[in-house]
Amino acid sequence: MEKKIIETQENILDAARTIFAQKGLAGARMQEIADRAGINKALLHYYYRSKEKLFEQVFEEAFKKLIRPLAAFLADDSELFQKIRNICKHYNKILIQYPFIPNFIINEINTNPNRIINLISFEGVAEGKQKTMAQIQTAVKSGKIRPIDPRELIMNIISLSVFPFASRPITGQFLYKNEDMDQILKSRADSVADFIIQSIKI
Amino acid sequence: MEKKIIETQENILDAARTIFAQKGLAGARMQEIADRAGINKALLHYYYRSKEKLFEQVFEEAFKKLIRPLAAFLADDSELFQKIRNICKHYNKILIQYPFIPNFIINEINTNPNRIINLISFEGVAEGKQKTMAQIQTAVKSGKIRPIDPRELIMNIISLSVFPFASRPITGQFLYKNEDMDQILKSRADSVADFIIQSIKI
DNA sequence: ATCAAATTTAACCAGTTGGTTAAAAAAAAT
DNA sequence: ATTTTTTTTAACCAACTGGTTAAATTTGAT
C-alpha cells in the first residue's frame, strides 16, 4: 500500500508544481491539478486539505531548492574564484532542471510578501553570507580583486545566474529566435563565471 | 467635462497598474480596482468593457516602457562603452520609477505565452539588435574588447540591470535587511556599467 | 434653466471555484 | 474471507466574480 500512497502523493505534487509555477496560486485550479495528477477532486482534497496547504508545500520546497545550495556555497571554504565558479555552475544545473522556480518564487512573494517571513533566517544562510562577504573584503584589501561592495558582487552573481532563466520567455524570443535555448542556457554556466571573474580580477 | 473624463480614466489605469502588477491578471479583482480608483464597478465597466481589455492596455503599456528604450539604445550610434553606460543608466532610472514592471511582464508572459506574439517584431527592435551585435563583433575583432558572444553580452547587460529590481522582495531581504533599497538600487546605475566594461575591456 | 454626459445605487445573474459529503467500488493488507 | 484503506462517483453548496441593467442623481456645458 505504501508505494501507491507515495506514488499518488508524488503525482499530486508533480501536477501542483507544474500548474502553480505556470499560473500562480490565484490562477491555478484544483480541478486542473487533479486532472493532471490523474485523480479526481475528492481525492485531491483527501490528501491535501486545501489549495493553500498544497501551495505552501510546493512553494516552500521550491524556495529551499534555491536558497539551500546558495547558503551552502556561501558557507564553504573554497577560494573566492572557485566559489564563484561553483555557484554559477550549480545554479545553471539546477535551473536547467527547474527553470520555472525563480519566476514562481519572485512572483508569489510579490503577490504576498508575508510568505517570506517564515523563510528568512534560514538554515545558516546569514552566516554563509557574512563569511563570503568577509572573504570578498579581504580579497579587496589584499589587492587580489578590484574594489567592489561585497553585496553588490553577490547580487551580480545571482543576477547573471538566475535572470536568463526567469526571463527566458521574453529574452529567448528576443535574442535567440527559435533556437535551442536549453543548449544556450547550459553553455552559459562557465562563461558567466568567467565574465564575473574577469571583471573583478586585477 | 473633458478633464473629468481623462482624470477618471487615468485613475482607473493607475489603480489597474498597481493591482495587476501586484496580483496578476488572475488574482486581480475588478471591485478592488474600482475601489482604488475611487469609483464603483458599474463605472469601471462603463469605461473598460472587460477585465481582459483593461489588462491588455495596462500590459502593453508596461511592455512598451521596457522594450522601446532598449530598442532605441541598441539602435543609436554611440560608441560601445558609452552605449552600455546609457542602457544601464536608463534602465536604472526607469525601474526606480516603475519597479514592478519586469516581474509583471515576465510573469504574465509565463502564464500566457500567446501575449508575446503580438509584441515581437516591435518597432525596429530587431534592427537595433543587429546593429549592436555587429558593433560588438567589430569591437572583438579589432581587439577593443575580449572575445564574447554578442548576445551573451546583451543578456548580461539586461540581467544586471533588471534582475535586482525584479528580485527585490527577496534579495532585498536577504542582502540588505531593512536598509534603504531605493538608495542602494539607485547607486547601482554606474557601478553596473563599470562592472560590465571592466569585464570585457582589454 | 436646460440638456447631455458622468456617476451612483442597488439589485441581479450566470458561471466558476474551493470544498464537502456519503455511498459505492476497487485495491491491498490481514 | 474479512477488514481496512484508497479511489471513484456524483451530487451538492456557499461564496465569489465578472458583468449587466435600469433608474436615479450629480455634474458640467450651453
What one-character-per-residue DSSP string does chain B give? -HHHHHHHHHHHHHHHHHHHHHHHHHH--HHHHHHHHTS-HHHHHHHSS-HHHHHHHHHHHHHHHHHHHHHHHHHS---HHHHHHHHHHHHHHHHHHSTTHHHHHHHHHHH-GGGGTTTSS-TTHHHHHHHHHHHHHHHHHTTSB----HHHHHHHHHHHHHHHHHTIIIIIHHHSTTS-HHHHHHHHHHHHHHHHHHHHB-
Q: Where are the alpha helices (DSSP H) in chain A?
A: 2-27, 30-37, 41-47, 51-75, 80-97, 101-111, 125-141, 150-166, 173-175, 181-200
A104: closest CA among A156, A63, A50? A63
Q: Which residue type sits at B97?
A: Q
The CA–C1' separation of A10 and C15, in angstroms, is 32
- pLDDT for B121 equals 67
Q: How far is B194 from chain A (nearest CA, A)?
A: 9
Q: How far is A162 from chain B (nearest CA, A)?
A: 8
Whether CATH 3.30.420.10 fits A1-49: no
- pLDDT for B124 equals 74
pLDDT of A180 higher than 90: no
Q: Which of B27, B191, B195 faces A111 most closely, judged by CB atoms?
A: B27
Other residues' Cβ atoms within 10 Å of the Cβ of residue A80:
18
Cell reading at B147: 572575445
Nearest CA in chain B to A156: B160
Other residues' Cβ atoms within 10 Å of the Cβ of residue B193:
23
- pLDDT for A118 equals 65
Which nucleotides in chain C lie closer than 7 A to a protein CB? 5-11, 16-22, 27-29
User: Three-class SS of residue A82?
Assistant: helix
Give the bridge partners for B145, in sequence order.
Answer: B201
**Please, what sign has the CA dihedral across residues B104, B105, B107, B109?**
positive
pLDDT of A3 higher than 60: no
* pTM confidence score: 0.94
A167: closest CA among A150, A146, A188, A149? A188
Q: How far is B145 from chain A (nearest CA, A)?
A: 12
Query: What is the pLDDT confidence band of residue A120, given thresholds at 50, 70 and 90?
Result: low
Residuewise pLDDT in 10s, chain B (202 residues): 555 677 899 999 999 999 999 999 999 999 999 999 999 999 999 999 999 999 999 999 999 999 999 999 999 999 999 999 999 999 999 999 999 999 999 999 999 998 886 666 666 788 899 999 999 999 999 999 999 999 999 999 999 999 999 999 999 988 998 688 889 999 999 999 999 999 999 9
- The reply to whether the CB atom of residue A26 sits less than 7 A from any atom in nucleic acid chain D is no
Per cent of chain A over pLDDT 70 is 94
CA distance A55 to A24: 9
> Cβ(A132)–Cβ(A76) under 8 Å?
no
CATH number of A62-200: 1.10.357.10
Give the bridge partners for B201, in sequence order.
Answer: B145
Residues of B in contact with A156 (CB under 8 A): 160, 192, 195
The CA–C1' separation of B1 and C3, in angstroms, is 14
The CA–C1' separation of A95 and C27, in angstroms, is 39
CA distance A25 to A111: 9
- The reply to whether the CB atom of residue A120 sits less than 7 A from any atom in nucleic acid chain D is no
pLDDT greater at residue A114 or residue B156: B156
Residues of A in contact with B120 (CB under 8 A): 173-174
Task: List chain B domain ranges.
Answer: 1-49, 62-200
